[in-house]
Structure formats: structure tokens, C-alpha cells
Amino acid sequence: MSDDFDLPCDDAAAEANEAALHAVWSYVRAHPFYPAELTERSAEVRATVTLSLDGDGKLADAKAASGSSSTKTDQEILDWLKRLQPFPRVPANLTSPFKFSAEFVFVPPTVLSEVKIRWIIDANPSASEAGLRDLVASHLQRQPRSYSNDMNSRHGTRRAIVTLLINPDGKLLNVEMTKGSGSPRVDQETLVWLNAAQPYPKVPTNFAAPLKLVAEIGFGPPSKGIWSDEKIKRSINNVCKGC
């Protein structure tokens, strides 16, 4: 999600603006959607929508600023957003209606990369640490990632080692490519994908903040059927919301 409007001048309002965007994006990600018209396509589709929310989170307006090239698909996206309301409430110190723009990327199931996570650790983690890592891995494995032409140029799985710094609220403070995949373009795609995966699961208060994780991430060719909407919904419902 990207904010294409001027940020508030004072720090408190700017912080509230960021928190509001974070809350809306978290809410949207918890309600996966794929336009019916795109099911048979073999390439990802992007659409940018401008949204206006009133203080109670009701959708005051939604328009396709940069559409998907299909009027029918654009309308499907707008109808989906209307069904999602009410969105999280807008902080009282922000101007109402709260306006922002969001780019949605829809990746056809036939080109979704299979994502594998292997944590790199110095010692055996406690049960709670292992559980949190499993939660983050599950979160990443549910984030759509296309198997691009650059990945396909080499047979097998593309692997990269990354270091993540995650705030207690799930915000990604920093991500670094510790060891690349051998393709600068794939590495850049990976960094963009990791940033777009925010918010991450919340970090419990008994963990040192920010949480530092090092992982080897592998991206393989699509595995038929593993990314069905029903499986995604089931995975999301199994995630601990209060962590």
C-alpha cells in the first residue's frame, strides 16, 4: 500500500497517518481476494485505487486511479472493497475523510512461486522462539510471489539469505540481502516482496525489540493447488491474532 497524498506536518499526525495506513493494510490482507476474470491469466495484474474513509472506517469513496486494463476487473475490486467496510477507525487527530491510494497486485495461482523458509540460528531456540519463527514463516509463505522470468532462467529453486528487523507491532524496520540468489533483479524483487508483506506477526513483549531474524528463502516453480483461496483463508484463521 502506498500513500500518494501529502503527509501531515506535525510528528503526532504523521505517526497517526502511518498507524492508520498500517491498520487498514493489515485488515485488507486478512481478507484475500482474487478477481474471477483473472483466473486464466498467466501474468500478475496491478491496479491502483484511491480510497476515502470517514472516521468510523466507512468507505466514503473508492475510484480506480490506475486500472487493471479491464473495466470488469476494476469494478470487481471496487465491489470487494465496499464489502470489506467498515475498515479500522481513523484516528481522531487526522482529517476526515482520510484519503490515500493503494496498489493491489493480483498474482494468478498458476504462476505463484512456492516459498520455503529455513531459519539460520546460532543455538537451539526456546519453544516460544521457535513458535514465533514458525508464525513468521507461515506469514511469508502466504504472501503472493510470482515465479518471474528471471527465476525461470535457472532451473530449480532460487535461494537468498536475508536479515529482517521487526518491530513489536509487526512493522519491518529493515531488511538486508545477506547473500544474494545470483540474480540482482531477483534479489531486488525479493526485497520488494518482503517489504510488501507488512505487517508481520506482532512480537510478544517478552522478546527483545526489534526482533532480528536471519533466513534462507527459497523460491521454486509453482506447485499446483497449494495456493487455493480456501487454504489461504484456513491458514489466516489459524494465526494467533493476539500475539
Q: What confidence tens digit (pLDDT) does each residue in 111-132 have?
A: 778 888 999 988 788 888 888 8
Whether pLDDT at 230 is above 60? no
pLDDT of residue 160: 93
**Planar angle of CA 213, 214, 217, nearest 5 degrees:** 120
pLDDT of residue 225: 38
pLDDT of residue 124: 81
Residue with cell 491510494: 101
Is 194 in a helix, a strand, or coil? helix
Provide the grid cell at 79.
465491489
pLDDT classification of 174: cutoffs 50, 70, 90 = very high
pLDDT classification of 238: cutoffs 50, 70, 90 = very low
Element (H, E) at 46: strand 45-53
Domains for the chain: give ranges and CATH numbers: 11-106 (3.30.1150.10), 110-238 (3.30.1150)
**Full-model pTM:** 0.56
Residue type for 104, please?
A: F
Residue type for 203, please?
A: V
Distance separating alpha carbons of residues 30 and 210, to the nearest angstrom: 24
Please state whether beta strands 114-119 and 211-220 pair in parallel, antiparallel, or not at all (unpaired). Answer: antiparallel
pLDDT of residue 216: 95
Residue type for 58, please?
A: K
Distance separating alpha carbons of residues 66 and 101, to the nearest angstrom: 10
The model's pLDDT over 28-75, given as tens digits with 9 standing for 90+, comes to 877 877 787 766 666 677 888 999 999 999 999 999 888 888 888 899
User: Percentage of residues in the chain with pLDDT exceeding 70?
Assistant: 81
Provide the grid cell at 92.
481522531
User: Percentage of residues in the chain with pLDDT exceeding 90?
Assistant: 27
The model's pLDDT over 129-165, given as tens digits with 9 standing for 90+, comes to 888 898 899 888 878 887 877 776 655 688 999 999 9
Distance separating alpha carbons of residues 65 and 63, to the nearest angstrom: 6
pLDDT of residue 69: 82
Distance separating alpha carbons of residues 243 and 202, to the nearest angstrom: 6
pLDDT of residue 155: 58
Contact 65, 49 (CB under 8 A): yes
